[in-house]
Amino acid sequence: MPRPRRDPPMLPPARGDAPGPRTADVVADAVRSAILSGGLAPGTPLREEELSATHGVSRHTARTALATLTAERLVTAEPYRGVRVSLLDDAALIALQQLRCALETEALRIVRERGIRPPDVDDALDALAAAEASGDWPATLDAHARVHRALVDAAGSPRIAEEYRRLDSEMHLLLAHVRPAYAPGALTTEHRAYVEAALADPEHEVRAHLDHSTRMILEGRRPRGV
């Protein structure tokens, strides 16, 4: 009977170095990157034995990595169907945007009460402009996420930031396969205006912005001519 595969030993860190990531986290990072880059399409099955062979780890480690991605909602585990890359239907998209709205509105309400300008938002907007000008959609997605995270992180609430990042990963997954019909530069122009408006009136502007983006995404999912 063959012996079960064991994970390769991780060398102890040199004195003064921070400990390295767990093996399961390394596998989760690799799969997450493939999902968010569009390399793994929604609905793609993810099997423990294949991850184990590909990454040279035990099935237990592969299972732990998949559990991490399931908690992030990037993959879905279903009885008798196994684990697959998540596929957000229209109803799930709307529910996701509603929850994003609640978190981002509360974060910006806190920011407004503190009377501060999010310290990283202008750099994030500049990064969005550069990415959009390059025509690089994955880079544009990363920069777009940076803008919204900069607003949320400025509230200084670890719980809000943590929950928002989970939703941000789902949104990134969706947009990796859907490209709304924005004219070149329009996304940056929209977000520069949004930042100023949302800092002044989060209760109204966040909802208006996310309702608009939801419509754009839904339209982007429709086949042309429909």
pTM over 0.85: no
Question: Span 135-161, mean pLDDT?
Answer: 94
pLDDT at 152 over 70: yes
Question: Span 7-19, mean pLDDT?
Answer: 40
For the beta carbon of residue 49, count every other beta carbon within 10 angstroms. 10
Q: Can you list the alpha helix ranges (DSSP code H) found in 120-157?
A: 121-134, 137-153
Report if residue 12 sits inside a domain.
no
Report if residue 137 sits inside a domain.
yes
Kindly report the CATH number assigned to the domain that includes residue 209: 1.20.120.530
Number of domains within the chain: 2
Kindly report the CATH number assigned to the domain that includes residue 33: 1.10.10.10
Question: Span 155-159, mean pLDDT?
Answer: 96
**pLDDT value of residue 13:** 37
**pLDDT value of residue 174:** 83
Q: What digits encode the pLDDT tens for the residues 18-43?
A: 334 589 999 999 999 898 888 888 89
123's tokens: 């750099």
Last residue in a domain, options 36, 66, 85:
85
- State which residues form the domain around 76: 23-85
